[in-house]
Structure 1
Amino acid sequence: MSKILFINSVCNSSTGTICKNLYKVAKEAGHECCIAYGRGNTPEGYNTIRIGNKLDFYLHVLKARIFDASGFGSKHATKEFIKRIEEFKPDIIHLHNIHGYYVNIEILFKYLKDHPEIKKIWTLHDCWAFTGHCAYYTYAKCDKWQICCNVKCPNKWEYPKTLFSNIESNFNKKKEVFSGIENMILITPSKWLKSEVEKSYLKNYQVEVINNGVDTNVFKPTSSDIKKQYNIENKRVILGVASVWDKRKGLDTFIELSKQLNSEYQIVLIGLNKKQIKILPKNIIGISRTENIQELVKWYSVAEVFFNPTLEDNYPTVNLEAIACGTPVITFDIGGSPESAKIYGRVINLFDDLFSILKKRERYNYGFFYISIEEKYNEYINLYSRKEKI
């Protein structure tokens, strides 16, 4: 059996939950595991390494916000982390999100290059690894990353926000840092992202698709009186869930949709901040972000449809959570979001399509096996168990 080190920006939220689920599955298969992370709470019951501290994080944020140096701060924290890696002596390093102001990519990837005997698996959850700045570019309709990002970047004011642009230099540095690493395979959760990677400077690596999965012992059709709690027993719920609601996630689309709905329907949005909740139209119920999984399950289960009007995304876990609760997913034909909805819902372009689907009042009995973490993460277990170099 192998010693596996997972590296991710956080241990919570979508990518953090993926890491924890992989940890559990790998541990059950007999592997020794550890999660290294940059910020947030330390989960109980897991072997973890915190990379740096709050001061390191804020200094990295400051450097990134002023000099467009996301991924190039945290030098001392990363050097100390390398010492911890050498103490753990992993056979496999499974990278996830390495952006997020917590690790220095030049120091970390030099270590990876210097240790070809370590198997490296890098799961890309967005596009940051092959751009000079942004994590997504679909909404901006930009393809400069296929050749070289430059100062005319349409996303320079998006995450990671910065005062002075250093986009072309970042692109060239990242290309050098991330290229030529022996014994490494790239994993994408969606076919869409795989096709994007194959157009980028990472195209020389082997790229495989392993979809995200969800715990179908938790996310499953569940009866509840949650509609009664909100006095909407007779309403048909259109549900939206996001960890951060912004234009990219489709908040504006929901507000526009609310103007076209009659009193038969009720929009419920989960994950909004207090300011967003205050300015919502009266016919939208806004709920702040919750760590209460059972509350989410109840909402997924009572919803008529789960509407995900994302304008750029990889392979949204929220789609899978809704599907596991028996609720059809409606989404736009953008990024990797349609890949689950095409099987377990509908892909639409206009509100008219959404209304025609609502009229059918369809519910689905899905094959949960195909979206369960056991099914999907066994593909990772097979990767971990390969004896040969990648």
Structure 2
Amino acid sequence: MPPEETNEKRMRVLIINTSENIGGAAIAANRLMEALKNNGVKAKMLVRDKRTDQITVASLPQSPLLKAKFVWERVCIWKANRFKKHNLFQVDLANTGTDITALPEFKEADVIHLHWINQGFLSLKDIRRIIDSGKPIVWTMHDQWPFTGICHYSGECTKYQTECHHCPLLLHGGGTHDLSAKVFRRKRQMLRGAHIIFVACSRWLEGLARQSALLVGQEVASIPNTINANIFHPMEQVKVRLQCNLPIDKKLLLFGSLKATDPRKGIDYLMEACRILKEKHPELAARVGIVVVGNRADQIRALFPFPVYAIDYVSDEKQMARLYNAVDAYVTPSLEDNLPNTIVEALSCGIPCVGFNVGGIPEMIDHRRNGYLAEARNAEDLAEGIHFTLETAPWEELSAHAVHSALAHYGETNVASKYIAIYKRASEKR
């Protein structure tokens, strides 16, 4: 056995994420752990919110303080916004958390791999303790928070390129010394003298990160999320439709989100696109249906001109794979997104995708080859993309290209090997 392979098998990586499997970052982190394990790395996860009995996932010692820390951070944001719920979950302060450096999982790890650590899991002081431990650190960025003051997505604001203040996500636009300014300065202090390799899940996010004043002098790379093709693969459509209690005589679109009504996920644009589609092609009224998956999905049933099949949020991957295979196209009208797991999942199942030309989505949807890339915030073009995918395009060709692109870019071995190289580079910096 080559020495290099032996060294790789001995590498112990601790993946740190707030949740085990709820939310896009958690799903991506969990899949990476499995991909690393399948490629010779002893990978474990450390989470605050554990939901399974997976032995390679450890959780913080349970205590009422864990929930209290989450609540305290929200209270601080609520107070700063003059007791309004304005963007309460669009920002994070990392002003409270848990010191994990004394945990056995941390001590035995060769590499510390941070992912999404917000909502009271790790504070800035806790992250500094990890830095001071001397262990190699890799930080995968699932949104902009690691390089902004307090926001997960900055929208049109570019203040993070110099220094955050007058945050548009705070009531009345914040101020010169608002929370965003204070946390930005604390992050700058936290990162002083640190050697962290920051990894973006998309080239789009990598480009934004390189512009941040916080990451000057830090290494920034880009590696996509991975997919388990043993779960997400093409299946017989009629069979899975019957299993999912969906009609077999309609062309079905799928929209999915943790919360179906989240404005950032663009549900309003999908509704408008469907209205345009029905107006231009009235014959589709009896032939098209919309499958909406996510919390509060039932609340929007009456807002579509086509029949809606509402399904609560699905955490079981096998059931989600069946739902992808039950539809003819996946529509993701997100207004701002990094590298959505949902697109990777749909493509891997051979389902063409329709989405806006924003964030990392253009890196995933190859226009008119595995789906349709619509002009950002253009409901009419989104409608055109849906019609193209359902009615005019050679669907079998789109499907074949979808599977090929998913395996080529997001396969476990490909992604794991890139991270192993990053881990080695991070270890060499020490």
Q: TM-score range by the shorter chain?
A: 0.7 to 0.9
Which ranges in structure 2 are unaligned for 5 or more consecutive residues?
Answer: 1-9, 81-91, 172-176, 279-283, 376-380
* 2:384 is the alignment partner of 1:353: yes
Paired residue for 1:56?
A: 66
Indicate the larger mover: 194-203 or 287-296: 287-296
Q: Which residue, 170, 175, 189 being the options, matches 2:201?
A: 189
Paired residue for 2:360?
A: 336
Q: 1:179 to 1:319 in 2, by over 3 A?
A: farther
What is the CA–CA distance in structure 1 between the aligned matches of 2:192 and 2:302, rounded to whole Å? 46
What is the CA–CA distance in structure 1 between the aligned matches of 2:288 and 2:311, rounded to whole Å? 17
Paired residue for 1:370?
A: 409
Q: 1:70 to 1:275 in 2, by over 3 A?
A: farther
Q: Structure 1, residues 289-331: CA drift from partner, whole Å, max 9, x if none?
A: 0123222212212322111100011000100000001111111
Q: Structure 1, residues 27-83: CA drift from partner, whole Å, max 9, x if none?
A: 344443332112242442314132663432333322333246721112xxx23x221
Q: What TM-score do the two structures reach when normalised by structure 2?
A: 0.80
What is the CA–CA distance in structure 1 between the aligned matches of 2:106 and 2:153, rounded to whole Å? 36
* 2:149 is the alignment partner of 1:132: yes
Secondary structure of the structure 2 residue equivalent to 1:83 = coil
What is the CA–CA distance in structure 2 between the aligned matches of 1:86 and 1:43, rounded to whole Å? 17
Query: 1:258·1:283 contact (CA, 8 Å) conserved in 2?
Result: no
Q: What TM-score do the two structures reach when normalised by structure 1?
A: 0.87
Q: Percent identity?
A: 24
* Higher helix proportion: 2
What is the CA–CA distance in structure 1 between the aligned matches of 2:301 and 2:124, rounded to whole Å? 40
Query: 1:98·1:105 contact (CA, 8 Å) conserved in 2?
Result: no
Q: Structure 1, residues 150-205: CA drift from partner, whole Å, max 9, x if none?
A: 13x22226xxxxxx9522111111122134312x2111110000000010021321
Query: 2:96·2:120 contact (CA, 8 Å) conserved in 1?
Result: yes
Q: 1:193 to 1:52 in 2, by over 3 A?
A: farther
Indicate the larger mover: 84-93 or 233-242: 84-93
What is the CA–CA distance in structure 1 between the aligned matches of 2:72 and 2:265, rounded to whole Å? 26
Q: 1:57 to 1:2 in 2, by over 3 A?
A: same
Amino acid of the structure 1 residue aligned with 2:146: A
- The alignment covers a number of residue pairs equal to 374
Offset of residue 231 of structure 1: 5.3
Indicate the larger mover: 317-326 or 32-41: 32-41
Note the aligned Cα RMSD (angstroms).
2.5
Q: Which residue, 313, 336, 340 being the options, matches 1:289?
A: 313
Amino acid of the structure 2 residue aligned with 1:389: K
Secondary structure of the structure 1 residue equivalent to 2:220 = strand
What is the CA–CA distance in structure 2 between the aligned matches of 1:54 and 1:327, rounded to whole Å? 44
Amino acid of the structure 1 residue aligned with 2:228: D
Offset of residue 135 of structure 1: 0.2
Query: 1:96·1:123 contact (CA, 8 Å) conserved in 2?
Result: yes
Paired residue for 2:5?
A: none
Query: 1:39·1:54 contact (CA, 8 Å) conserved in 2?
Result: no
Query: 1:51·1:103 contact (CA, 8 Å) conserved in 2?
Result: no
Paired residue for 2:133?
A: 115
- Residues 271-282 of structure 1 correspond to what in structure 2 (within 5 A)? 271-273=294-296, 276-277=299-300, 280-281=303-304
Secondary structure of the structure 1 residue equivalent to 2:197 = strand
Amino acid of the structure 1 residue aligned with 2:412: I
Q: Structure 1, residues 116-141: CA drift from partner, whole Å, max 9, x if none?
A: 3x211110000011222210122xx2
Secondary structure of the structure 1 residue equivalent to 2:226 = coil
What is the CA–CA distance in structure 2 between the aligned matches of 1:345 and 1:278, rounded to whole Å? 25
Query: 2:352·2:389 contact (CA, 8 Å) conserved in 1?
Result: no
Paired residue for 1:160?
A: none
Secondary structure of the structure 2 residue equivalent to 1:259 = helix
* 2:51 is the alignment partner of 1:11: no
What is the CA–CA distance in structure 1 between the aligned matches of 2:64 and 2:302, rounded to whole Å? 32
Query: 1:304·1:358 contact (CA, 8 Å) conserved in 2?
Result: yes
Indicate the larger mover: 318-327 or 300-309: 300-309
What is the CA–CA distance in structure 1 between the aligned matches of 2:35 and 2:219, rounded to whole Å? 24
Amino acid of the structure 2 residue aligned with 1:24: E
